[in-house]
Structure formats: structure tokens, C-alpha cells
Structure 1
Amino acid sequence: MFGLFAKKPTPEELVRSWKSGLNKQQRALDRQAASIRVEEKRVEQSIKQLAKKGQADECKLLAKELVRSRKQRERIATNKAQLNSITLELESQASMLKVAGTLQKSTRVMHAVNRLMSVPQLERTLMEMSKEMAKAGVIGEMTSDMMDAMDDEDIEDEAEEEVDRVLAEVTAGLLGAIKPVPAKPVAAPASAAAELSDAESELDLESMQARLSALRS
């Protein structure tokens, strides 16, 4: 934004700067959503392969990650809508500047900024922007109480029905029809190759979960 000792920006310059920052954040959210979707497709393919082998427990683990990731993409879409709402309001304010002469207070911008302050990726940018908007009279001063009153819905506790629904969707109903793979007889030890394959499979599951978790953060 604008430096402490820089020349005081005009309302037009402020609006341009804010719009540029908001557009940059929207593009960042687009990239995050796209990365999550790419990883989700890999997970969906793995679920299909595991379902054919009857590995229901592994399928369910990955399905839970899918549910969390889909909710995160829904949140990203909501956040983008809030950012767009601010941008549209700023454009409206810019068009009225020649008539009003100054920027006007906007409850719509206040509400959108308020909600977005709980988003880690946006918090730093919005904190600085909200201070500038408060000084310019577009919003009131942001308080800690306002910032703490955000929606803190927990996306970690997934309903069992939702996970089952995702499994049915991804496997086209196959998972519900399969039986768990029977355990091998104790007298028939697994070969070294089979043990290595099992270890690689477990690492793949952990790797997918880790990648999705990193993309959501």
C-alpha cells in the first residue's frame, strides 16, 4: 500500500490501489482452488483403483480428504464473492467521486472485510487495506471484537453420510458392493515384493493426504 511518508494519495488513487490488491488476491484464490482440484482428481482416481481391490478403509480415508477439500473450495468461492463485492462497491464509489467529492461510508464493504479477516491468506492484506479504508471514511475502525466474531465452522469433523456419498459418487456405487479383502493365511508369509508394494501403497496414501492438507492451508 502507501508508505508512511509518501504523499497523501487522492481518493481515486486509493480506489485503484485497493482494486489492484483485491484482484491480486482473487487470482491467488483461483490458483489455490485450481491446485486443490488437480490433487482431488488424483485422489479420485486412487479411490477408484482401491475400490476395485476392495480396500474400503483406504478409500474412506481418501474420501474424507476429498470432503474437506471440496468444502475448502466452497470457502474459496465464497471468499472470492466477498472480494468481488468489495470491488464492485469501490467501482461504484469511484463513479460517484466527481459528484460527492469524497469516498462514502459503505456497510457492504465493512461487512465483507469483516468476514474476510478470518481468512489467513487474506488477513495481512486486508488488515492494511482496512486501515486505509477507515482513514478514508469508507468503513469504520476495525476492532478485535469484530475480527473475532467470524464464522469458525470446523471443517475437520465430517459427517459419515457425506463421506459415504462421496465414495458412492467417485466409485459409481462400486464400493458399497465390494467386500473387504480377506486376510492371507498366517502360514503363507508375504514375499518381499508384496511387502514393498504394501509399504509403497501406504506411503502414497499418506503423501496424498499431506498434499491436500498443504493445499488447503
Structure 2
Amino acid sequence: MSGFFSKKPTVEQQLRQNERVMKKQQRDVDRDRGKLEKEEKKIEMEIKKAAKQGNKQAATILAKQLVALRKQKTKTYAVNSKIGAIGNQQKLMHSNMKMANAMGTTTKTMVQMNKVMDPQKTMKTMQEFEKESMKMGMTEEMIDDTLDDILGESGDEEEQDAIVSQVLDEIGIEITGKMVNAPSAHGGKLGESSKAKGATDDEIEKQLAALKDL
């Protein structure tokens, strides 16, 4: 009855048990090989003895026994190699089972996370975030526009450009889109234009200073 209710061994326990069994088998095979090697040396000595005595028939029979014994010894090496390969294969299977179990545990964890995380709720949260972000951006833009109105910053660049052009024209500087014809510090055009307009250097400096204050 106790055997009926005995607990089934775990994979690790079964693995250790199998390793013990295979190691015992390898030791038994090694022990048999040792006996065969002793018998091999014994037969070799008997062959030499028969050869010295000129007993060709006995030497031939012993030689056949030696060949068969050596074949059997070679088989013991093959058996041990096979047992070792089975042990390695068992370890690989156990490693694969561990990886499969790890993947199974990870899958269960992801399933639980998916149950906890409601995709529709998450999507709704993201939509609300986007909506509120847009509101915040619109509010910021409205506040900026209001402050510009209060502070008188209309942003009328064309009007500002017209004032600048007018002042520059008054002081005798002819400008284009890229200031190609603007006078250099030593070019002489500024002096010639100023003389044509009858403006002095001091007056030009004052007008430039007034332009900065606009």
C-alpha cells in the first residue's frame, strides 16, 4: 500500500538516479575490460611459449582467442562511449525542459499582466492625455496672444520694416533685400549720400541711435 501512495520523483531526482545507474554501468564495463586485458596478456605469454616450443597448432588456436578477446575489449570502449552519449543527451533534455518551463512561467506571467492591464482603459487614458495636451497648448497660445495685445506687440513686421526703410532712406542709405549696396565702413558711399542730403556725421549717429530706440 505504501508503494501505491508513493510520491512520483521530480525530474531532478530522476536525473540523478539515471546518472547513478549509468555511472555504475560504466564502472562494470571498465571492470570487465580490466579482466579482458589481464587475459590478453596471459594469452600473449602462452603464444610466445608455444612459439618457442615449436607448437604451431597451439599458437594458432591461442592467436584466434587473442583476436576474439581484443574485439571484445574494443566493444567495451564503444559501450562506455554510448553510455556517456546517453548521459549527455539526458542532460541536454533536462536543460531544454528547464528552458521550456521558464518560457511557460513567463507566458503565465504575461497572461496575468494582460488580465490586469485593460487595453481599452489604457487606450482611453492615452486619448484623454492627448486631449488635455491639446487643450493645454491652445490655452498657452491664447495666453500668449492676450499678453501680446496688452503689451502692444502686434507683430506687424511689415509696418516695422516700413519704418526702418524710411529712417534709412532719410539718412541716405539705400537698401535692398540683402543689403547688397549698403556702404562699408570705408567705402565712401555713406559720406557721398550724406553730403547730398546735407547730413553731418553727428546727425547720422543720432538717427541711428533713434532707430535702435524704436
The two structures have a TM-score, normalised by structure 1, of: 0.43
- Give the structure, 1 or 2, with the largest relative contact order (CA under 8 Å, sep 6 or more): 1
The two structures have a TM-score, normalised by structure 2, of: 0.44
Comparing both structures, which one devotes a greater share of its residues to helix?
2
